Chain A
């Protein structure tokens, strides 16, 4: 493995540490009563409000339409996602030293699979959250569900919800790109075995 592709792979692994520092997904809500906006931040290990009390306030508002309260402690994904991330950081670092092109490929593929499962899981969570409503809720609009979009903007009664990847996701994409470059760099340099 060339030193260039090795360093790229090290970078691809270490940049994932940044995912602990930034939200991976942002859901921003706009409503007449919230001129400054109110929002959710989904991290690899927690769900928070955009501002200090946003989560509490979103939960407060959501009870009117019968949505479940978002209680980060009860979302099991938030418990094991950090381990998955640590797994990719660890294996990425190991691969960068083992200099095995196939392993880089597997690493990228596995990462993409896990990401797809993650996104699907996020969709399912949003679906449950938006459809599984308390039948005694005070506000019932026939045919209305409140599933936030995975990506994009959707009008939910008085609220316009916009859901977009956060900096954490961008870091993941950068990591994958670096790994891919590492992979192709190695291809060009095939046969070289110097460390």
Chain B
């Protein structure tokens, strides 16, 4: 009898082990039955949060719902968007203009929501272009890019566009220092010729208009990530730097020698005072500002040629360096504004500086030398505490508003939760794999919404069905409502998401635009009714003023076009009904398509090169007779005398 019990137990143990063994793929063990109900959003129901994930090298922003992880939209920002014609249409091309010409791509890293009093206000989303330094503003009523400003005197616009408490400024800096102004010098003359800049781009309170307010010249380190202060540290902004060695080659070794690099603490209110006192110099610099005129539904470019520049040597008390181990990456300010946590990516601790200690150290002049006139504060006079055993390669910290920080650790591939004040690690959870940024809804504001942390992972490996050498990137949703973090969901992401932002859906959804009112359409090429449609020739330029409505174009037969003509199709969608866009595509058109929202006018240029008949059609399945929504264009040889004609 006893033996039998032992046998049964042994058998059960074997079965159990086999089950465990079969389930123990990477991180797939564990009980997720509870998780499923926490991320399940029933058909027709809404997610609690909108999440905005940067597209990284896709140059776009993707919009997701949380907790479901469902993707709703990709917003074309720095990249042409073939889906909507953004960057292809005549109305939108100007948005991608730079001082280097038309650049239809960039590397978008850090979405940042506008704030009022340190809390999300749901008006705009900013995001940086890292490669050709730019900052974009997205209108959260239309989810469209409405402005892009270039930052001159900059290389690698990485530490941007972090927002001050009342969206006074979005900040930026140079990850790659350069000769300023840029010139033809030997790269090995880095130490004498290369300088960094910190930029403050002002945001108009009403319109959101961006202006490069001023730049500060800083020693030629690599400025990496930034965070403005909040509460009592409002008025300051903090920038991490690495490569205080000022190496110009093989940075992975040569920029990793110093035990400590710096966080630059910039007093921007003081900078404003110095500007008022006339301490700023005006420098020549060419940079574009592209803006979308909502009434004319058209983007325009303006070229700016001057920038105000402050030199710390002329402006004592404007910048201090906080020594920070080691090659710090992230710098994150807690909801109270007191603590500044650094992600020393090669450090063995998370150093957390105290803002009030910093102010006291400045008053007591607790300096340890200076770099080009910028005082270095003594580490032990500014440090509030060090989080021990924070995982390997700590990068970024978000806050839950309940007294905890959550830090991503890239090398040990985990999130580490620690308590503000005691600096003890209280929990940790693995991520799959190699987390970069992490995001708690509102976790960078004075009022975090908490509930979840999203891990934005750099490496995917075996998490999904394989798709050849290139795999999707991966995000993970983790429940932080309990004492222990709990993994709920993996979801794939587009491009490479760096940072992300999330905001309660109810703040945005009530303002979301459904249509553009035809009556208010001031596009100079709009036609408001089918009666106004026409085709006009002026030399070799043809303008087709066309309408689209269910289920036809007017006109839909056009003749008299000749090889060598420049044909502008100005297509107005006459619909005023929600979710009834029309598309427009022409065979052989060497560009893209148009996707025209109700009440909108968009233009695409066609330069026909061959003689014959060319069909065009609606690309967005709009109605039961969508397949009938088509037409023909006759292209005659250059020099032929077929007159322009069209049907109405």
B204 located at the interface, meaning its Cβ lies under 8 Å from any Cβ of chain A in the complex: no
Whether, in the assembled complex, A18 has its beta carbon less than 8 Å from a beta carbon of chain B, the answer is no
Q: How far is the CA of A175 from the CA of B363 in the complex (A)?
A: 82
Q: Are B577 and A60 in contact (CB-based, < 8 A)? A: yes
Q: How many angstroms from the CA of A61 to the CA of B551 in the assembled complex? A: 10
Interface string of A52-81 (1 = CB under 8 A from B): 110011001100100000000000000000
Partner of B577, one of A53, A64, A138: A53
**Are B624 and A139 neighbours in the complex by a CB distance under 8 Å?**
yes
Q: Which residues of A contact B576 (CB under 8 A)?
A: 52-53, 56-57
Residue of A nearest to B514 (CB): A53
- Tell me which residues from 485 to 501 in chain B have a Cβ below 8 Å from any Cβ of chain A: none
Provided the pairs A53-B577, A57-B576, A57-B577 are in contact, do residues A64 and B625 lie with their beta carbons within 8 angstroms? yes
Name the residue of chain B whose CB is nearest to the CB of A61.
Answer: B550
Asked whether, in the complex, the Cβ of A53 is within 8 Å of the Cβ of B625, the reply is no
Residues of B within 8 A of A52 (CB): 576
Q: Do the beta carbons of B575 and A60 come within 8 Å of each other? A: yes
A residues contacting the other copy or chain, number (CB 8 A): 9
Residues of A within 8 A of B623 (CB): 64
Q: Which B residues are CB-close (under 8 A) to A139?
A: 624
Contacts of A57 in B (CB 8 A): 575-577
Chain B nearest CB: distance from A65 CB in Å?
Answer: 11
Q: Which of A56, A60, A64 has the most CB of B within 10 A?
A: A60
Task: Say yes or no: B625 contacts A138, CB within 8 Å.
Answer: yes
Residue of A nearest to B598 (CB): A53
B564 smallest CB distance to A (angstroms):
38
B39 within 8 A of A: no
| Bound complex: CA A52 to CA B576 (Å) | 9
CB-defined contacts of B628 to chain A, threshold 8 Å: 138
Q: How far is the CB of A124 from chain B (nearest CB, A)?
A: 29
Minimum CB–CB distance for A134 against chain B, Å: 14
Give the bracket for the number of chain B residues in contact with chain A.
10 to 19
Contact partner of A60 among B515, B550, B624, B625, CB < 8 A?
Answer: B550
Contacts of B577 in A (CB 8 A): 53, 56-57, 60
Complex interface residues of chain B between 459 and 509 (CB less than 8 A to chain A): none
How distant is the Cα of A65 from the Cα of B623 in the complex, in angstroms?
13
Q: CB-nearest residue of chain A relative to B625?
A: A138
Provide the bound-state CA to CA distance between A61 and B628, in Å: 15
A53 CA to B625 CA in the complex, in Å?
Answer: 22
Whether a CB of chain A sits under 8 angstroms from the CB of B549 is yes
Contacts of B550 in A (CB 8 A): 60-61, 64
* B-contact 0/1 string along A134-164, CB 8 Å cutoff: 0000110000000000000000000000000
Distance between Cα atoms of A138 and B624 in the complex (Å): 10
Q: Once the chains are docked, how many angstroms separate the CA of A5 from the CA of B577? A: 51
Q: How many angstroms from the CA of A64 to the CA of B622 in the assembled complex?
A: 13
Contacts of B624 in A (CB 8 A): 64, 139
- Most B C-beta atoms less than 10 A away, residue of A53, A56, A57, A64: A53
- Which residues of B (215-248) have their CB < 8 Å from a CB of A? none
> Does B515 contact A53, Cβ atoms closer than 8 Å?
yes
Cα–Cα, bound, A5→B459 (Å): 86
Q: Which of B600-628 contact A (CB under 8 A)?
A: 623-625, 628
Looking at the assembled complex, report how far the CB atom of A18 sits from the nearest CB atom of chain B, in whole angstroms.
30
Interface string of B558-587 (1 = CB under 8 A from A): 000000000000000001110000000000
Tell me, in angstroms, the Cα distance from A138 to B625 when the chains sit together. Answer: 8
List of A residues within 8 angstroms of B625 by Cβ: 64, 138
Shortest distance between the CB of A22 and any CB in chain B (Å): 25
Output the least CB separation between A35 and chain B (Å): 9
Which residues 92-145 of A have a CB within 8 angstroms of B? 138-139
Question: Chain A residue with minimal CB distance to B576?
Answer: A53
Residue of A whose beta carbon sits closest to that of B550: A60
Q: Write the nearest CB–CB distance from B44 to chain A, whole angstroms.
A: 9
Q: Give the complex CA separation of A64 and B624 in angstroms.
A: 9
| A48: min CB distance to chain B, Å | 14
Complex Cα spacing A9 to B625, Å: 56
Task: Compute how far the CA of A45 lies from the CA of B243 in the bound complex, rounded to whole angstroms.
Answer: 76
Give 18 pairs: A residue, B residue, CB < 8 Å, sorted on A.
A52-B576, A53-B515, A53-B576, A53-B577, A56-B577, A57-B575, A57-B576, A57-B577, A60-B549, A60-B550, A60-B575, A60-B577, A61-B550, A64-B550, A64-B623, A138-B625, A138-B628, A139-B624
If A56-B577, A57-B575, A64-B623 are given as contacts, then 16 extra A-B residue pairs at C-beta distance below 8 Å, sorted by A number, are: A52-B576, A53-B515, A53-B576, A53-B577, A56-B576, A57-B576, A57-B577, A60-B549, A60-B550, A60-B575, A60-B577, A61-B550, A64-B624, A138-B625, A138-B628, A139-B624
The 9 closest A-B pairs by CB, nearest first: A53-B576, A57-B577, A56-B576, A138-B625, A60-B550, A53-B577, A60-B549, A57-B576, A64-B624
